[in-house]
A and B are shown apart, each in its own frame.
Chain A
Amino acid sequence: MSEPAAPPFAAVEELAAGEPVAVGSAGPAGIPGRATSERVQRFVAYTAMFAIALLFFVPFLWSLSTSLKPLPETANFSLLPHTWTIAGYRAALLDYNFERYMANSAILAATVTFTSVLLAALGGYAFARLRFPGRDVLFFLVLGTLMIPDQLRLVPIYRMLTIFPVTHWNLVDTYQGYWAIRMVSATALFLMRQYFLTIPRDLEEAAKLDGAGYFKTFRRVMLPLAGPALAAVAILEFQGTWNDFFWANLLLQSPQHWTAQVGLAQFTFTYRTQWNDLMAGTMVALAPVVIVYLFFQRYFVAGVASAGVKG
């Protein structure tokens, strides 16, 4: 099936810059008399999808409406507030240092996402395509790290960060310490590896024929094709860091270092959860994650076509 390939870089760059292409079958088309039943099918399908989408959404509509209620009213279960008020938002944003918390979350999430994407791509490519002794053992080690619960790592990591080996830095309550332990995640590396495994080899081999070294191949061939996976990693890591509570609570204790989640925890007490403030804060904290998600999800376009098709 493969015909002599066009110069790979040009083709790939063209493709990567191109329009979103729908992948997946469209079904038999152009048969007369099918038009109406297809229309009905599609209407049913869309309705079902919309119903599911609504199901996924409704709980958050409740959060939104709770954030607009005064505290005494949060006790009843009505969907719409009786008295509309932004007192919750005012309290969350003004009485508490919420912009600071959001800024902290943003700094940490951005740095962690950046290094994660970079290191996971590099590492994933190596595990998928390069050969080096002990590769599979190391990969299983990486998988193994996923199986360790955070609670077990609590004490050793905290102790390590108070006096970091060799350099004796005190990294507790610093951005650097937090970033260091989350610099790259095994999940991201795993994801990139699996993704790179599915990319057909012809492109790399063509690049090799052209005399490209490993980095050039990686940078010019694999990376542009990895759009969807990189986007997935970016979304995952951003959101994972943004929503993380355990390590932020442990490692970022001074109020000026608090992240959004730690700040939100101020509204949750054993008996007196201030629902309206909590939901208002949650809505505000949710916004950046939504924005990042919507931004990155447009990279979910088919990035790979066989080298033989174009050119």
Chain B
Amino acid sequence: MAIAVPKRRLFGRTKRPGAAREALVGYGFVFVPMAVFLLFFIYPMGYAVYISRFDWGILGPLNSLGWKNYSSLWHDTLFRRSIKNTLEYTVWVVPAQMALGLLLAVVVNQKIRARTFFRGAFYFPSLASSAAIAAIAIYLLNVDGLFNKVFGLHKIWFYDTKTALPTIAGLNAWTTSGTMMLFYLASLQAIPTDVYEAAAIDGAGPWRTFWKITFPLLKPGHFFVAVVSIIGAMKIFDQVYIISRGTGGPDYATYTVVLDIFNTAIKDAQLGLAAAMGVVLFVVIFALTILQWAFFGRQEAA
């Protein structure tokens, strides 16, 4: 069916027959999700943006501050440190997660024996809750714990300023690799088999097939995994909170942005300032996501 599709304009009228009906159907399909997102995400975000220009406690008076919250954040060494830590953590974790996830997905996608067993084993860390994982990790990475004993080391993994953040990054890479494996697996399964058959006929070996054919075809998958990984990494909180007991130590090594937001909002009850921090975090993540959108190419759906 060859119909010349005119250049799309965002809000212009496309001159195709049945476009109106398609648009209506489209809106209908996305209506409920968008309503949920509007109510429980967009509205709170708007609320946060509004509150960020005030000094507001829990019940106390609302004192207008203009942009002072933001300017104070600019000079706030603790906040700047938290941004630095969070970005550093993201750089550690995201490539590790993606690579590990892809590797595992490729492995369990093959026709191997005991495939179900391997799928289960590789996904197991992702099944447990972050609290459980943190508890297990604290135990195993103790100075006298199993990990040190097996490798003959004597490092204090979580409580040494140099190793604290990378250790948490390693822990999370291990934990979320299963989820990334799942995403990549779904993407791998969408690749039609005749693509591989054609490659085999052309005499391509497994390595070349993977890099020249499979990898590029996974582009929508890459985009998804990258975006989700980066967003998740920038929002890291649970493990850091449990492991550092909420202090972000040792010596600010694990002080992340969401931990700062948490402390500011909940312990200090400075909701305005916390909202400002949230807005800043949002802008940073948004910028990173736009970069990926451009890098992985816009997915033309029509």
Verify that A and B bind, or say they do not.
yes
- How far is A129 from B30 in the complex, measured between Cα atoms in Å? 12
Q: Nearest chain-A residue to B223 (Cβ)?
A: A194
> Are A300 and B186 within 8 A (Cβ)?
yes
Stretch from A5-13, A53-61, A91-99 at the B interface: A53-61
Stretch from B40-48, B76-84, B91-99 at the A interface: B40-48
Instruction: Looking at the assembled complex, report how far the CB atom of A117 sits from the nearest CB atom of chain B, in whole angstroms.
Output: 12
Q: A184-B36, A190-B228, A197-B299 are in contact. Are A53 and B121 (CB under 8 A)?
A: yes
- How far is A235 from B179 in the complex, measured between Cα atoms in Å? 9
Residue among B265, B266, B282 making CB contact with A147, cutoff 8 Å: B282
Question: Which residues on B sit within 8 Å (CB–CB) of A152?
Answer: 44-45, 48, 261, 265, 274-275, 278
> Are B145 and A293 within 8 A (Cβ)?
no
Interface majority SS (helix, strand, loop, mixed), chain B: helix
* Cβ contacts B172-194/A at 8 Å (1 or 0 each): 00100011001101111111111
Question: Which residues on A sit within 8 Å (CB–CB) of B179?
Answer: 236
> Are A132 and B45 within 8 A (Cβ)?
no
- How far is A281 from B282 in the complex, measured between Cα atoms in Å? 36
> Are A56 and B261 within 8 A (Cβ)?
no
Residue among B26, B107, B131, B223 making CB contact with A126, cutoff 8 Å: B26
- How far is A126 from B30 in the complex, measured between Cα atoms in Å? 7
Q: Does A309 contact B (CB under 8 A)?
A: yes
Instruction: Looking at the assembled complex, report how far the CB atom of A250 sits from the nearest CB atom of chain B, in whole angstroms.
Output: 11
Q: Does A122 contact B (CB under 8 A)?
A: yes
> Are B29 and A122 within 8 A (Cβ)?
yes
Question: Which residues on A sit within 8 Å (CB–CB) of B118?
Answer: 49, 53
Q: Does A231 contact B (CB under 8 A)?
A: yes
Residue among A119, A273, A303 making CB contact with B33, cutoff 8 Å: A119
- How far is A170 from B216 in the complex, measured between Cα atoms in Å? 50
Q: Nearest chain-A residue to B298 (Cβ)?
A: A136
* Cβ contacts B153-171/A at 8 Å (1 or 0 each): 0000000000000000000
Q: Does B285 contact A (CB under 8 A)?
A: yes
Question: Which residues on B sit within 8 Å (CB–CB) of A77?
Answer: 139, 142, 144-146, 149
Q: Does A23 contact B (CB under 8 A)?
A: yes
| Chain B stretch 123-153: residues in CB contact (< 8 A) with chain A | 123-132, 135-137, 139-140, 142, 144-146, 149
> Are A146 and B183 within 8 A (Cβ)?
no
- How far is A239 from B182 in the complex, measured between Cα atoms in Å? 13
| Chain A stretch 127-182: residues in CB contact (< 8 A) with chain B | 127-138, 141-149, 151-157, 160, 180-181
Q: A152-B261, A261-B131 are in contact. Are A56 and B125 (CB under 8 A)?
A: yes
Instruction: Looking at the assembled complex, report how far the CB atom of A184 sits from the nearest CB atom of chain B, in whole angstroms.
Output: 5
Residue among A131, A145, A282 making CB contact with B132, cutoff 8 Å: A282
* Cβ contacts B101-130/A at 8 Å (1 or 0 each): 000001101111100111111111111111
> Are A151 and B258 within 8 A (Cβ)?
yes
Question: Which residues on B sit within 8 Å (CB–CB) of A143?
Answer: 227, 289
> Are B1 and A205 within 8 A (Cβ)?
yes
Q: Nearest chain-A residue to B41 (Cβ)?
A: A145
Q: Does A89 contact B (CB under 8 A)?
A: no
Q: Nearest chain-A residue to B128 (Cβ)?
A: A286
- How far is A195 from B191 in the complex, measured between Cα atoms in Å? 10
Instruction: Looking at the assembled complex, report how far the CB atom of B96 sits from the nearest CB atom of chain A, in whole angstroms.
Output: 14
Instruction: Looking at the assembled complex, report how far the CB atom of B36 sits from the nearest CB atom of chain A, in whole angstroms.
Output: 5
Question: Which residues on B sit within 8 Å (CB–CB) of A198?
Answer: 187, 190-191, 217, 220-221
- How far is A261 from B130 in the complex, measured between Cα atoms in Å? 10
> Are A282 and B128 within 8 A (Cβ)?
yes
Q: Nearest chain-B residue to A66 (Cβ)?
A: B139
Question: Which residues on B sit within 8 Å (CB–CB) of A195?
Answer: 186-187, 190, 220
> Are B182 and A60 within 8 A (Cβ)?
no
Q: Does B73 contact A (CB under 8 A)?
A: no
- How far is A61 from B161 in the complex, measured between Cα atoms in Å? 29
| Chain B stretch 254-288: residues in CB contact (< 8 A) with chain A | 258, 261-262, 265-266, 271, 274-275, 278, 281-282, 285-286
Q: Does B231 contact A (CB under 8 A)?
A: yes
Residue among B26, B48, B182, B193 making CB contact with A232, cutoff 8 Å: B182
> Are A22 and B111 within 8 A (Cβ)?
yes
Q: Does A79 contact B (CB under 8 A)?
A: yes
- How far is A227 from B185 in the complex, measured between Cα atoms in Å? 11
Question: Which residues on A sit within 8 Å (CB–CB) of B200?
Answer: 25
Binding site for B on A (CB under 8 A): 1, 21-28, 46, 49, 52-54, 56-60, 62-63, 77, 79, 119-120, 122-123, 125-138, 141-149, 151-157, 160, 180-181, 183-184, 186-187, 189-191, 194-195, 197-200, 205, 208-209, 214-215, 227-229, 231-232, 235-236, 239, 243, 245, 261, 264-265, 268, 273, 278, 282, 285-286, 289-290, 293-294, 297-298, 300-306, 308-309
The 8 closest A-B pairs by CB, nearest first: A132-B26, A22-B111, A53-B121, A126-B29, A145-B41, A243-B129, A130-B26, A132-B23
What are 11 of the A-B contact pairs (CB < 8 Å)? Answer: A56-B178, A62-B139, A123-B32, A136-B10, A151-B262, A245-B129, A245-B130, A282-B128, A304-B190, A305-B193, A308-B194
With A129-B302, A187-B228, A282-B129 given, can you name 9 additional A-B contacts, CB distance below 8 Å?
Answer: A21-B193, A46-B113, A53-B121, A132-B26, A142-B33, A143-B227, A149-B261, A152-B261, A183-B36
